[in-house]
Structure 1
């Protein structure tokens, strides 16, 4: 408090400098009081003391007061500069000198015989001590040194003159005066520190407010009890698009409501703001839609009511910022999170939410909802052959067609790829579900004109009904997917509802897939061979290798069941490699050199980068002449990466292998395939052979056309599915070169093939004999 020591957390120079700067304000008053006190002392001592001695005393006092006053005048700026301890010490010494000048004079006059005047002189001294304590509370060290110097001299004078009672009073007064100075200083310094800290906070707040106002997006606002703007800042005026003078005193709500102020049609957020102000409630980060110069904007406002000292409401003040850009960005992000950017339809996330809402609605009102999964047929072929740009345009048009058939309570969206979905909120009428599915299939099957090309795709749809087929979103989607698989397996362009049996089929498929993955290691696969004969001589010209699977867990599995599964899971690639190696080995080791082996190759195999290497390895390891290997492919290989497939087949032909086109006429038939690649054989599908056997004019015409085309291209023809002599004779008349079917032999194990050749050799030996 005195200033001899500075606390570690305080700024000694700052606080004491502000204290000592106050001395300048009362310097003249203290000088006048000292002069009056000296006059009173002279009156008391007049007639006893020599005038000369009084004059010397007066000069000494004048010098002491003058020096002290000069120091105090120099301390007038101590609050704005660094105040040093030396300055405080010098001022304290000056105060002590002044107190000693007073006390020594009183001491001399009392000792020289003025005992009777000592009480009056002490009264004058006590007045000076009181004055010092009152007027120099801000400089406690100087007040204490003055008090102690003056009090000790008068105390000694009372002791010397044997006025002990007076001495006790003087001693007590001096001590209590010194303690009073310390206590007064403590209170004054504490108040000064509080004022200084408050001033600092005010300056900081002002600085922050200035920085806040100078910011790019934030501003302050304030309204009075009538909701009129007051103290409008330039930044807020800029946000309102007006000059400060124009909007001062104007209605805040009217300025931000635009035309709504006349029509009474306000956004809900503006109603909420008005209610908050009306109820005098604090609010924070309130999003309000405002209209500024005819343009809709979004403001984020915070506010608090203004209360005076008596708790009377004075208005509102707060901060705000224009968050239109952030709001638009957030809305765009939210849109992208819930909508597909290509088709502008709801995406998987939003569809899942819609299904969940539909399920909740169905359970609440004891109704049903439906989920339809839509998958495009033949879209991949278009996407692969014409490119993703055309594919994207088609998906956008598909989305438009599906959306066009939607009615109330129906929502369509895109799950991803070429999969779409439809959610029906109220599906109590099952006929409505099927009617909508058939309508979507018909609409999507219509031709598309894209990039000056007429394109066709179809659609397959599977549906599930909630909560009958599932009480959760995952169950409904899974069951609709199972129904869709059934529609795809049926050839596409179909609609199926979910049935519980589909679960058993899916589980069976899963178990078959698991077993098929270990079939090669367990040696469960084997090859059977079906003969292909010359149509006229009926001699065997080749055998087609056909894979069979005899599972330890499931028994004998039909190729029609596990071959598609192997293609879906790409297990057909290692299985096809094994077939190639095993068939070539069997033909090279046990068959006559004039008999070929026909091996079917899946599109998945043909598109493998090392397919030709697999063929070369099989030929080299078995020692089979490449001319005895005929690779059979279907037209579907040209739909996916036709260039890769053609290049692989050309490399096989360069080795000496022949290529047969299987199932001609049942797939994506195009004469361009026959022109680009020199096939050795065209195989007529069994469906045409059976149709011709039933005198189908279309089937007969197709077979004749294929035969004529093959002859002109120097290719041979093979008819599949011949089951009796009548059909064989018909095929001969139609001009086919080779025949394959049960009439000449079913697929048989390798041992039976060897028996055929053994019997043939024996028959030839008997003929020679």
Structure 2
């Protein structure tokens, strides 16, 4: 969008060339816009003539007239921008002038309210809306200026509507401004793309014309003639020039000897010269036959046509023909063929050549009853390099990756780049089943070693998925798909390993696809429900909070495990609207049905935290439900620090500023680092059930970890929650270890909202009985 309106450079093409033509159109309708503003102003003056003093109307009209004429002058200056350099400063200046016009209209509407003409604001807004429509229609090629006018004109109109408590009009104004801007940007986008396409076609046309001129200037045709002994006769000056010799010097010399170079001495001739000699010997006519000639040690490509000569008695006299030097065309063709089949960054075969090689390997395997293999390689942390150090460093990294992959290939193995940070290897003969795994491990080992680029030490690592043909697929598409499924499994397991394709992977992928389709309509169809698991105080075992856990009952798939649908929701970013729904539902349940000292814990995905308005979502959930912010505890995992850590941290700090608490879930199982506790003041640390179970089984490591976490939390002023407590012995152990709160099946499984209400009511009854 920033490229469309001119705030950023386009991906292709020059900024001024792209936007110059757009803004040149503006001047063609400058006069029409002046007339429209004048008509609208007269309508407003007529409407307000009885309610607003004439002097105020005249002052407003003068200001508007000044702004309109200033805009007209600004439009007029752009009449020649297509033929000169159009600058960003001009673009912004034009937008400011348009915004000034909109501002004066806004001030006029606000002034109408001030002078008591509030009853006329709907009519005045109609005039402004008419001008906004005219701006969108006449200045879609200048989107920034039109957006500035529409925004400035709508702000004052909105304030005037709100000041007169005309909320319906306020909604209409907001909607009009939004849809006008949206339609304007969409129209500008089409114009922008059309301009880019025109520039691309123009550049291609210029390139083709340049190549044609070079071809015409470098073209050289000549006549040649040889006798029955293949010796040159009647050498033309142009032919002698092509051979870089004098005509007299080469008269009577062997034609083949002159163009074979050192091959004449050692007997090693290019295949094309062998074929030419056969044609001459067989007295065959030939046309446009391309031969590889060596002239003065320089390789040239000639296109020859020849016809045998006979006298009146049918006696053979030799050959006569024409020739031309096509070296330039040949090099261009070879370059085009190279670009079509090789990746210019890594100099490796590209996807096209890999597909061809895999197709040939499959044919070979089926013909000789053997096997072939395809390995798909993906770098594990390449995106982080691109995001942090830039694409230039990323490109150099890919080139070094290619340099490490090439030496690992044996005969019959081809490595190439599929695109992005994905590479592929075709193994023509994989009859030795261990070869694919051995090569995959060699690749992983080679790419695990650090890369040194511009004083940076980079660790990326790689994952490999493989498929064996024809066992795992009898077509190129099937093998590529199945190798990709195996690679996906390798990435899913944490990366840095190799997985072979299994039929179950296809089943899982199809199940995942179907679940994704169903998940996209699950929220709309009200298929989600929240269950609540109690968290109790470790001392008196009273309920202190409930953790909200989402459940999905799909009409098509039945009850779907969160372990299945949550990762899909995160990958597709459906977790954002789903998470908002969970936040609203859980807050409403806690506020309406639980005691004031019982909190609600809500799990938040990293995808939600990087949303620009996450804190606003929390505020809306709290305000609509009436829940006190101190009763909301947001649970996050350490994975939030692996992606846009600064954005996630800012969002959580904003929530904490509201009064919410933040818990660090699954501590110790992922990317644990004490530095995370220093970056953000967590309220609670949740000890994962793995350590709780280990401690219950007297595992020294688990006991030490739980004690260390409790001691660290106490020193930092944080509480601790032990997860996964399933019996009284475990509860007693956790209590002795010093944990503050306990959560697990021993105190309650996740339950529907109705059962959770019964739990808190029973707790209230027990407390009353104790106090009595």
- Normalising TM by the smaller chain, what interval? 0.5 to 0.7
Q: Is the 8 A contact 1:385 1:641 kept in 2?
A: no
1:236: which partner in 2? Answer: 239
1:302: which partner in 2? Answer: 305
CA distance in 2, matches of 1:335, 1:560: 47
CA distance in 2, matches of 1:683, 1:223: 93
Given the alignment of the two structures, is residue 223 of structure 1 paired with residue 225 of structure 2, yes or no? yes
The structure-2 alpha-carbon separation of the partners of 1:736 and 1:344, relative to structure 1 and needing over 3 Å to count, comes to farther
> By how many angstroms is 1:215 displaced?
5.5
2:218 is paired with a residue whose SS is coil
CA distance in 1, matches of 2:724, 2:400: 42
1:146: which partner in 2? Answer: none
The structure-2 alpha-carbon separation of the partners of 1:349 and 1:241, relative to structure 1 and needing over 3 Å to count, comes to same
Aligned residue among 745, 748, 751 for 1:748:
751
The structure-2 alpha-carbon separation of the partners of 1:625 and 1:302, relative to structure 1 and needing over 3 Å to count, comes to farther
**Structure 2 runs not aligned, ≥5 long:** 1-214
Q: Is the 8 A contact 2:542 2:763 kept in 1?
A: no
Matches within 5 A, 1:576-587: 576-587=579-590
Aligned residue among 478, 486, 490 for 1:475:
478
The structure-2 alpha-carbon separation of the partners of 1:391 and 1:743, relative to structure 1 and needing over 3 Å to count, comes to farther
Taking structure 2 as the reference length, the TM-score comes to 0.67
Given the alignment of the two structures, is residue 267 of structure 1 paired with residue 270 of structure 2, yes or no? yes
> By how many angstroms is 1:454 displaced?
4.9
CA distance in 1, matches of 2:718, 2:246: 91
The structure-2 alpha-carbon separation of the partners of 1:614 and 1:303, relative to structure 1 and needing over 3 Å to count, comes to farther
1:732 is paired with a residue whose SS is helix
2:698: which partner in 1? Answer: 695
1:518 is paired with a residue whose SS is helix
1:529: which partner in 2? Answer: 532
The structure-2 alpha-carbon separation of the partners of 1:702 and 1:347, relative to structure 1 and needing over 3 Å to count, comes to farther
> Deviation digits for residues 2-58 of structure 1, max 9, x if unmatched?
xxxxxxxxxxxxxxxxxxxxxxxxxxxxxxxxxxxxxxxxxxxxxxxxxxxxxxxxx
**Would you identify which runs of 4 or more consecutive aligned residues in structure 1 move more than 6 Å?**
none
1:633 is paired with a residue whose SS is strand
Q: Is the 8 A contact 1:447 1:455 kept in 2?
A: yes
CA distance in 2, matches of 1:438, 1:288: 46
2:412: which partner in 1? Answer: 409
> By how many angstroms is 1:367 displaced?
1.4
Given the alignment of the two structures, is residue 763 of structure 1 paired with residue 753 of structure 2, yes or no? no
2:291: which partner in 1? Answer: 288
1:530 is paired with a residue whose SS is strand
CA distance in 1, matches of 2:716, 2:251: 95
The structure-2 alpha-carbon separation of the partners of 1:323 and 1:646, relative to structure 1 and needing over 3 Å to count, comes to farther
CA distance in 2, matches of 1:666, 1:384: 26
> By how many angstroms is 1:482 displaced?
2.7
Q: Is the 8 A contact 1:447 1:456 kept in 2?
A: yes
The structure-2 alpha-carbon separation of the partners of 1:406 and 1:546, relative to structure 1 and needing over 3 Å to count, comes to same
Q: Which has the larger radius of gyration?
A: 1
CA distance in 1, matches of 2:318, 2:541: 109
1:680: which partner in 2? Answer: 683
CA distance in 2, matches of 1:273, 1:712: 90
The structure-2 alpha-carbon separation of the partners of 1:768 and 1:539, relative to structure 1 and needing over 3 Å to count, comes to closer
> By how many angstroms is 1:545 displaced?
1.2
> By how many angstroms is 1:755 displaced?
0.8
Q: Is the 8 A contact 2:221 2:325 kept in 1?
A: no
> Deviation digits for residues 606-647 of structure 1, max 9, x if unmatched?
222333332222222222222222222222222222232223
> By how many angstroms is 1:260 displaced?
1.0
1:434: which partner in 2? Answer: 437
Q: Is the 8 A contact 2:226 2:255 kept in 1?
A: no
> By how many angstroms is 1:446 displaced?
4.2
> Deviation digits for residues 442-487 of structure 1, max 9, x if unmatched?
4444444555555544443333222222211112222222333333
Q: Is the 8 A contact 1:221 1:229 kept in 2?
A: no
CA distance in 2, matches of 1:703, 1:332: 65
Q: Is the 8 A contact 1:222 1:315 kept in 2?
A: no
2:666: which partner in 1? Answer: 663
1:674 is paired with a residue whose SS is helix
The structure-2 alpha-carbon separation of the partners of 1:549 and 1:300, relative to structure 1 and needing over 3 Å to count, comes to same
**Structure 1 runs not aligned, ≥5 long:** 1-212
CA distance in 2, matches of 1:392, 1:629: 46
> Deviation digits for residues 206-264 of structure 1, max 9, x if unmatched?
xxxxxxx9963212031231333344444333332223443333332222211111111
> Deviation digits for residues 740-765 of structure 1, max 9, x if unmatched?
22222221111111111111111122
Q: Is the 8 A contact 1:543 1:598 kept in 2?
A: yes
Q: Is the 8 A contact 2:291 2:304 kept in 1?
A: yes
1:532 is paired with a residue whose SS is strand
Taking structure 1 as the reference length, the TM-score comes to 0.67
CA distance in 1, matches of 2:709, 2:385: 26
Matches within 5 A, 1:611-630: 611-630=614-633
> Deviation digits for residues 260-301 of structure 1, max 9, x if unmatched?
111111111122222223333332222221112212222222
CA distance in 2, matches of 1:365, 1:443: 33
Q: Is the 8 A contact 1:384 1:640 kept in 2?
A: no
2:597 is paired with a residue whose SS is coil
Aligned residue among 698, 707, 720 for 2:723:
720
Given the alignment of the two structures, is residue 340 of structure 1 paired with residue 343 of structure 2, yes or no? yes
1:251: which partner in 2? Answer: 254
The structure-2 alpha-carbon separation of the partners of 1:753 and 1:237, relative to structure 1 and needing over 3 Å to count, comes to same
2:119: which partner in 1? Answer: none
> By how many angstroms is 1:379 displaced?
4.1
CA RMSD of aligned residues (A): 2.8
Greater mean alpha carbon deviation, residues 728-737 or residues 407-416: 728-737
The structure-2 alpha-carbon separation of the partners of 1:648 and 1:314, relative to structure 1 and needing over 3 Å to count, comes to farther
Matches within 5 A, 1:277-676: 277-308=280-311, 310-452=313-455, 454-676=457-679
Greater mean alpha carbon deviation, residues 263-272 or residues 715-724: 715-724
CA distance in 2, matches of 1:724, 1:483: 40
> Deviation digits for residues 72-111 of structure 1, max 9, x if unmatched?
xxxxxxxxxxxxxxxxxxxxxxxxxxxxxxxxxxxxxxxx
CA distance in 2, matches of 1:766, 1:312: 131
CA distance in 2, matches of 1:500, 1:480: 11
Q: Is the 8 A contact 2:224 2:236 kept in 1?
A: no
